[in-house]
Amino acid sequence: MYLTVLSILLLLPVIFIFKFIYSVIYLPWKFEKHFRKQGIRGPGYRLIYGNTKEIRRQISEAESKSIPFNHNVLHRIAPQYYNWSAIYGKTFLWWFGMKPRLAISDPDMIKGLFMNKAVDKVEFDPQTKQLFGQGLVGLRGEQWALHRRIANQAFNMEIVKVIH
């Protein structure tokens, strides 16, 4: 009896350690390797924190600079996207903690994602929700389907007339 309880107590930390190594080290490495094979790179994964420290640093740098008087504000609002897209291209992989995020700015890929119902969108944080509001990008499920159906009519090529 005591031997089984003791063996269970010794086995639990070993299981916890293996589970921790699997989720914190192995899975992120596997994700990066998978996307690297497809030609998608990005800032490297950092244990537990991902790229959040680098994002905070870039935001504080952007806030310390003055704002130019034009409509190009991406470098101020989301400096990580601005900097990383210049380095890694239109599509790159970055890490929000231990969760991988795929940033896509290629219109054809975005269209394909909007057409694919199996793709689940990321829940917005409060600041991003203020930026995008309740538009098509931020909606999910039935609300997304309804708004997409309404917006899709505006982009029908038979209805849209191109003025030369």
- Please check whether residues 41 and 98 belong to one and the same domain: yes
User: Model confidence over 66-85: pLDDT tens digits?
Assistant: 877 777 788 888 899 999 99
Digit-coded pLDDT (tens) for 109-136: 887 877 776 666 667 777 777 777 777 7
pTM of this structure: 0.69
* 97 lies in the same domain as 124: no
Domain with 160, as residue range(s), is 118-164
The CA distances from residue 31 to 39, 51, 95, 100, 151, in Å, are 13, 15, 11, 8, 34
Q: Could you tell me if 96 and 126 lie in one domain?
A: no
Judge contact between 98 and 48, C-beta under 8 A.
yes
Considering only residues 99 and 118, tell me which one the structure prediction assigns the higher pLDDT: 99
Beta bridge partners of 129: none
Asked whether residue 110 is domain-assigned, the answer is no
86 and 132, same domain (yes or no): no
How does DSSP classify residue 98?
A: T
Q: Are 6 and 49 found together in one domain?
A: yes
pLDDT tens sequence across 42-74: 999 999 899 999 999 999 998 888 877 777 788
Q: Are residues 74 and 143 in the same domain?
A: no
Q: Are 73 and 101 found together in one domain?
A: yes
Pair (65, 93) in one structural domain? yes
> In the beta sheet, which residues pair with residue 100?
95
Q: Could you give the percent of the chain with pLDDT greater than 70? A: 88
Q: Is 118 left (phi over 0), alpha (psi -120 to 50) or beta?
A: alpha
113, part of any domain: no
- On whether residue 133 sits in a domain, the answer given is yes
d(CA 33, CA 139): 31
Q: How many domains does the chain have?
A: 2
